[in-house]
Structure 1
Amino acid sequence: KRLEVEIEKGNFRTDLLFRLNVIPFEVPPLRERTPDIPLLVEHFNQKFSVAYKKRPKRFDADAVEALRSYSWPGNVRELRNTVERVVIMHAGTRVAAQDLPALGGEEPAPTPARFSSFRDASEAHQRDFIRAKLAEAEGNVSRAAELMGMDRSHLYRRMKALGINVREERASTS
C-alpha cells in the first residue's frame, strides 16, 4: 500500500512495482507479533555473541516482558539493534529490564566498564555514529560520508570492518 502512494507521488516506478509484486505478501509489524520477540531476542543474542566473541546473555523474564511491551516503531531492525547493543555493552551475563537501553529514548552514555577493551568501546561508538549518519542520510552512503567529512570508499571499508551491512541499513531507513 505504501508503494502505491509513492507511485502517485512520483517517487517509485510503476514497472518496478509490477516486477516486485509477483507474489504480494504482508508481514505484520513486530508490535502485532509479540510472541515472536523472545525467539528473535535469542536468535540475535546468539548471532551477536558469536560475531563479537562474547558470552551469550541471559535475558531475565522482566527484561523479556519489557521488550514485549515496547511498541517497536523500528520493527525487527530496532529489536536487532537493541540486542546487539546489549551484547556489546552490557558487562554481565544476566540482563534485567533496567539493563536494557532506553527503548525509544536517548541511550545513556556508555560507561568504560561496559567494554572489555578500548577497541571494543571505540568500535561500538563508531558503529552507533555511522548508523546515526546513515539514518540521517536516509540510507544514502554517499550522503552519509559527506555528512561525516570522509570519502565514500573509506566509509564502505569502515562499515565492512564494523560488520555494518549496507543493504540492511538502507532497508531500516525506508
Structure 2
Amino acid sequence: MSAPPPYQNHPPQQPYGHPQQPYGQQQQPYGQQQQAYGQQQQPYGYAQQPAPVPPQQRPPQPSLLRGLITAVIVLAVFGGVGWYVWDYNTNPSGGKAKKEAAQAAKRAEEKTHDPQSGDCVKVEHPNGDPLPTIVDCGSSEAQYKAGERLYGAGKECRSPYTYQIQVTQSRGIDYTMCFTKV
C-alpha cells in the first residue's frame, strides 16, 4: 500500500507549463469568488468587512473671494430694499403719496354724498338706491334741502319733510335722512 502524497497548497501544474486561465488572471481557490481589483476576497458564507474609514479631514476654509462676493450680494439686497422703502415714503409721485391721495379723494367723495342739515342736494338713483349729492342751493340742480337725521332702523320723517332716505352704513349704524322740497 502506498501512502497518499502529502497535502500541498499549490495548484496542480499543467503539462508543458501552460496556465489553466488566460494570461494575467490568477486561479481562485475553491470557495472564494473573484472581486474587483484592490478588494480583499472572502470565502463564501462569510460577511464582508466594511472598508476602513479615512481619518476626518478639516472642511475647506472659505476663500477670501467667496466672502467678498457674499458680502457684495448681501449689501446689494439690503441696499435695494432700503432704496425702495425710502422712495416709497418720500417720492411725491410714489406709492405712499398715491395711497394717501386716493384715501383723501375717497373721503372727499363720501362727503359729497353725506349732506348735513341745511345742505341742498340732488338725488340720483344709479343702482336703484337713492344717492344724495350735495350741490349749490342757488343752482338749478338743487331738488331738496337736508333736514334732520333720525337714528335707528325704520324711522319715519314727519311734516314739514316731504322726502326721506333710509341709510344703512357698513358699521351697522342705521338712520333716516329727512328732506324738504326746494
Shared fold (TM-score greater than 0.5)?
no
Please identify which structure carries the higher strand content: 2
Larger Cα Rg: Structure 1 or Structure 2? 2
Provide TM-score, normalisation by structure 2.
0.21
Query: Which has the higher relative contact order, 1 or 2, with Cα contacts under 8 A spaced 6 or more apart?
Result: 1
